[in-house]
Structure 1
Amino acid sequence: CAVKAAQVLSEIAKNEEMKKPCIEADLVLTLLPLLESTDQEMLLHAGRAIGRICYDNRDLQEELVKVGVITSLVRILTDYAESEPLVHVDLLALCNLADFDTAKEALSKTKVAEQLVKQLRRAENHERLEIVFEILQALAENDALKVQLVEAGVQEVLSEILLRLQGSSQAEDTCIVKAASDLIVSLLLGGKKNRMLTVQIQKETTSKIPLSRGVAICPIALISLNGNCVRMVQLGVIHQLLDLLEKHVESGDISVQHAALSALRNLAIP
């Protein structure tokens, strides 16, 4: 009965005109305890209903964070990591809440970093990648979460993604490479000087720049700015950089050659 009620509410909440009555009836607070259920169908419908009622309502979203919804969202992401419908609803919720400082603080006390890195690795389509990247970009503004993401191995997954998309000219792939590049910079940089460099690298990875250059720039950020030389060698960055040099020597693309040589130089110094 409760599952059916949650399903009906999730359908009702699709109608923009019905959101206000749902809010006035305090249905969000009524639905919240249902997120503690172990019934996946219940979680799915309750999650959808809450998400639709609270969509684009900052006050309600902040209230959700205050009453502890973050703990429930991380639990669902952990316990049902392979349930695509549940994960999708959960990630959308995190995406809508992640830019609240209170949400970041709550998330820093969980193991969400591990789960998001897993989802980044599992993502099989551009839409899922974009959602996860948006969440990670927001979380990277928090120092504690930044450390947790690196400890969870996000850099390895980013390297895999960049390597996989290297050479692609598709617009969707370009967007993913830019998102990965921006995230790497956010994870590794801080302070006024580094924020300026962030802007510079973001400009370098726009759609007008070949993907290969974005792939070269990212290892430079990792190597030069965070002392990750050993880790980058382990990830095979040297081979990627040598491949880039070989491909672009004949083409005369000085920018890529310079980027690759700079990265190799930084790797050689330690």
Structure 2
Amino acid sequence: ADVGDGKPTASRACVKAPLWLLAFSAQHRYPILPVSKTTAYLDFRYNSIRLVSLSLSLSLSDVIKLQLVDAGLVECLLEVVAQTVDSDREEDVAQLKTASDLMVLLLLGDESMQKLFEGGKGSVFQRVLSWVPSNNHQLQLAGALAIANFARNDGNCIHMVDTGIVQKLLELLDRHVEEGNVTVQHAALSALRNLAIPVVNKSKMLLAGVSDVVLKFLKSEMPPVQFKLLGTLRMLIDTQADAAEQLGTKAKLVERLVEWCEAKDHAGVMGESNRLLSALIRHSKSKDVVRTVIQGGGVKHLVTMATSEHMIMQNEALVALGLIAALNLDCAEQDFVGANLVQVLHKLLTDEHSAPEIKYNSMILICSVMGSEPLHKEVQSLAFIDVVSSLRSDENKTVAHQASLTEQRLTAQS
């Protein structure tokens, strides 16, 4: 289960079946079996060992995945599922799991995935969708993972949202709020996150109540679920001001985000919490959201985020901090001082490795905090005028221009 590594990502990740299927592939090389609908090797109903062998091979090559799809492997797998789904026999349960896991593995290849999608009208795609409302947890899991993997380009995502798949996922999640099957929760949230990436899908998914259902999992103590719910909410509110304001004024959500911002044992959860906290401010530009974040203790985490090794996270933090300073400097003043904001900005501006965006937004923020007496004094004590003056000759024209403006501002208020 994916809990993230703290690195910001904007792409749709392939969502893999349980990792035991891949764990041996780096250590063993299994022969690729010739596949056809009449091949004796593919007596899947009674030869699960061959299925496992194939599953290990599938992890190695997208070309192999496509060849196996072309050869009819999918139909064989669907037959295994149909014959074993109602059985309680241990052997059948194992075969059902292996067959459905293999289906998900086949979808990790872009070409094989698109071939099976068939514009959203493919029989295989429809069969896999029917697994989501199943009472079998393994099929629920495989169905949700399959949707997440089909949702790897905008066209597929838009089609699936327009044909009501979101509602199926929400109903599945509702069934697991109390049951608490972590793997199903994680898979369904992964699918929703991917579906929320296209701009045209965001408002539709918000109207469908996605954020309300996702918020039910705030109480989860499982990092994989936490990571995916944070990513889903962040994708949903991107460019959606009303939704960002609605969520950003929920004190319980902000308190939970602040708690997860300190989850040092789970870098992915910590990173996504910071990014969502910033996104709530950036996309809402709301005084009420800023007040909620300040009262919830979020400012210090955004200052820390500005020191991230990832430029995109630094920039998101600086923009959010700039909005806080512009909208409610008086309330944020004490938190800015306590978090050593001015010292952080000084370090960013004197670091030769800082990106132009970081330098630009750091200077904007310096100007924004000059209305605070204690912050103003810190700016003066660190000789910011000298630092900014040196940036007037920066090779980036935008940075150089902002340095000139900032120097004028600092000189006028010195």
Do the two structures share a fold, i.e. TM-score over 0.5?
yes
Q: Does the CA contact (< 8 Å) of 1:158 and 1:180 recur in 2? A: yes
Please report how far the alpha carbon of residue 160 of structure 1 lies from its aligned counterpart in structure 2 after TM superposition. 1.5
Which secondary structure state, in structure 1, belongs to the residue aligned with residue 351 of structure 2?
A: helix
Question: Does the C-alpha gap of structure 1 residues 4 and 158 become closer, same or farther in structure 2, counting only changes over 3 Å?
Answer: same
Which secondary structure state, in structure 2, belongs to the residue aligned with residue 124 of structure 1?
A: coil
Structure 1 position 54 matched with structure 2 position 237 = yes
Please report how far the alpha carbon of residue 153 of structure 1 lies from its aligned counterpart in structure 2 after TM superposition. 0.7
User: Which of these residues, 286, 298, 301, is aligned with residue 100 of structure 1?
Assistant: 286
Question: Does the C-alpha gap of structure 1 residues 53 and 128 become closer, same or farther in structure 2, counting only changes over 3 Å?
Answer: closer
Structure 1 position 41 matched with structure 2 position 224 = yes
Please report how far the alpha carbon of residue 87 of structure 1 lies from its aligned counterpart in structure 2 after TM superposition. 4.0
Q: Structure 2: which 5+ residue stretches go unaligned?
A: 1-183, 391-402
Q: 2:318 is matched by which residue type in structure 1?
A: F
Question: Does the C-alpha gap of structure 1 residues 73 and 18 become closer, same or farther in structure 2, counting only changes over 3 Å?
Answer: same
CA distance in 2, matches of 1:150, 1:184: 13
CA distance in 2, matches of 1:109, 1:39: 26
Question: Does the C-alpha gap of structure 1 residues 54 and 179 become closer, same or farther in structure 2, counting only changes over 3 Å?
Answer: closer
Structure 1 position 89 matched with structure 2 position 275 = no
Please report how far the alpha carbon of residue 28 of structure 1 lies from its aligned counterpart in structure 2 after TM superposition. 1.0
* Bigger proportion of residues as helix: 1
CA distance in 1, matches of 2:378, 2:198: 50
- The equivalences for 1:58-207 within 5 A come to 58-68=241-251, 69-80=253-264, 83=267, 85-98=268-281, 99-121=285-307, 123-141=308-326, 142=328, 143-165=330-352, 173-189=355-371
Please report how far the alpha carbon of residue 133 of structure 1 lies from its aligned counterpart in structure 2 after TM superposition. 0.6
CA deviation map 1:96-136 (0-9, x unaligned): 32121111111121222222222223x12332221111111
How high is the sequence identity, in percent, across the aligned residues?
16
Please report how far the alpha carbon of residue 21 of structure 1 lies from its aligned counterpart in structure 2 after TM superposition. 4.9
Q: Does the CA contact (< 8 Å) of 2:278 and 2:302 recur in 1? A: no
Q: Structure 1: which 5+ residue stretches go unaligned?
A: 191-221, 245-254
Q: Which has the larger radius of gyration?
A: 2
Question: Does the C-alpha gap of structure 1 residues 119 and 162 become closer, same or farther in structure 2, counting only changes over 3 Å?
Answer: same
Please report how far the alpha carbon of residue 177 of structure 1 lies from its aligned counterpart in structure 2 after TM superposition. 1.9
Q: Does the CA contact (< 8 Å) of 1:95 and 1:135 recur in 2? A: yes
Question: Does the C-alpha gap of structure 1 residues 126 and 66 become closer, same or farther in structure 2, counting only changes over 3 Å?
Answer: closer
Q: Does the CA contact (< 8 Å) of 1:139 and 1:146 recur in 2? A: no
Which secondary structure state, in structure 1, belongs to the residue aligned with residue 316 of structure 2?
A: helix
Structure 1 position 227 matched with structure 2 position 377 = yes
Q: 1:74 is matched by which residue type in structure 2?
A: V
TM-score when scaled to structure 2?
0.43
Structure 1 position 10 matched with structure 2 position 196 = no
Question: Does the C-alpha gap of structure 1 residues 125 and 65 become closer, same or farther in structure 2, counting only changes over 3 Å?
Answer: closer
Question: Does the C-alpha gap of structure 1 residues 24 and 79 become closer, same or farther in structure 2, counting only changes over 3 Å?
Answer: same
CA distance in 2, matches of 1:28, 1:6: 11
Q: Note the aligned Cα RMSD (angstroms).
A: 3.6
